[in-house]
Amino acid sequence: MIKPVGSDELRPRFVYDPEQHHRLSREAESLPSVIVSSQAAGNAVMLGAGYFSPLDGFMNLADALSTAQSMTLTDGRFFPVPLLCLLESADAIAGATRIALRDPNVEGKPVLAVMDVTAVEQVSDDQMALMTEQVYGTSDPKHPGVETFNSQGRIAISGPIQVLNFSYFQTDFPDTFRTAVEIRHEIQERGWQKIVAFQTRNPMHRAHEELCKMAMEAVEADGVVIHMLLGQLKPGDIPAPVRDAAIRTMAELYFPPNTVMVTGYGFDMLYAGPREAVLHAYFRQNMGATHFIIGRDHAGVGDYYGPFDAQTIFDDAVPAGALAIEIFRADHTAYSKKLDRVVMMRDVPDHTKEDFILLSGTRVREMLGQGEAPPPEFSRPEVAQILMDYYQSLPQS
């Protein structure tokens, strides 16, 4: 099986030992505490689940700036984005060397993790601007990732953490949320050797389904892990429970037995385009995938990134040897009326626009909201029904 990034074994920060967990939970209630941002909570979940292995906690400012500029920490280890815990104020933990991090996304703000504080640092506007520009490729406050990153505060607390729970992800998505540790175990149990990972924050239409099958065939994979984001999205994106139902229906009806795993991870979307694509590849290697699909405008939003920037960054900026996972570079996929199947557009240079069934996201949402199913070449009817039920349940404007 493929090794985790930078190590022979995963190093999840979740406290699995029951006695230690109980002891730490009791201690945490007496520690100075702070409610962290949703983004920091998601990062803690990813650290706990082993996805960000071998990192052991939140970065100090020097490491965050280094990763923003070169995708390496100050000690030379590879990591594609700053991993910060930013606060508006650190008054509640002033002088403390051990603190509790509380979850903003769960009622009662329970303790999510315990941190051994190694630094409390003020981040300057110039430093925030540098990290923003390097990671997001823009400083436009209308970019949802830029807005979120810059709204969390300017005080960075850093240090190793011990994670006590997986926030709302394990309780709200018990059949879907899986740690990197669990996915590796299931891959071994299934006897898979070559594994394709597919990232999604949306329901999967026919083209996505066929793209997974194309990638599996091209690399002779044993199976595909459909790995959906379960955290916070931008307004207008389809909620995770609806996506989950749609994807599971598609996988059960249209994939051969023992060729697909439907799983999810707890993390807030960055919309950072190329940099987020590298982060996605990083934690897919940690969960055991040998290949990762990256298509057009992967993890992008609006017109901030070129259609294939998320592929070329692996050639232009990722340090040599940093990742062992292989990238499957996909083009836009669509149903060819000429060939009566889904194709990658680059593979059919003789086609014109009229030869494809192409629908904009806006048009699809309109159809679903009106109870009109998209053509079966675009969306499986069972998937379309789930999405129609969702859109028709929304208040009509």
Active site residues: 201-202
Label the pairing between strands 326-329 and 223-229: unpaired
Which residues are paired to 229 by β-bridges? Answer: 265
Q: Rounded distance, CA 354 to CA 80, Å?
A: 40
Helix extents (H) in the chain: 18-28, 38-48, 61-70, 125-136, 144-150, 169-172, 180-190, 206-219, 240-254, 274-286, 309-316, 361-369, 381-393
Which residue type does 336 have?
S
Assigned token pair, 191:
């006897």
Supply 360's token pair: 């904009």
Which two three-digit tokens encode residue 84? 């910060």
CA angle 294, 267, 315 (to 5 degrees): 30
| Dist CA 336 CA 338 (whole Å) | 5
Q: How far apart are CA 124 and CA 153, in angstroms?
A: 11
Describe the strand order of the beta sheet including 333-336 as a list of residue ranges.
341-344, 333-336, 356-357
Q: Token digits for 31?
A: 């520690």
**Placement of tokens 């949320």 in the chain:** 177
Place of tokens 């007496």: 30
| Other Cβ atoms within 10 Å of 141 Cβ, number | 11
Cis peptide before 376 (omega within 30 of 0): no
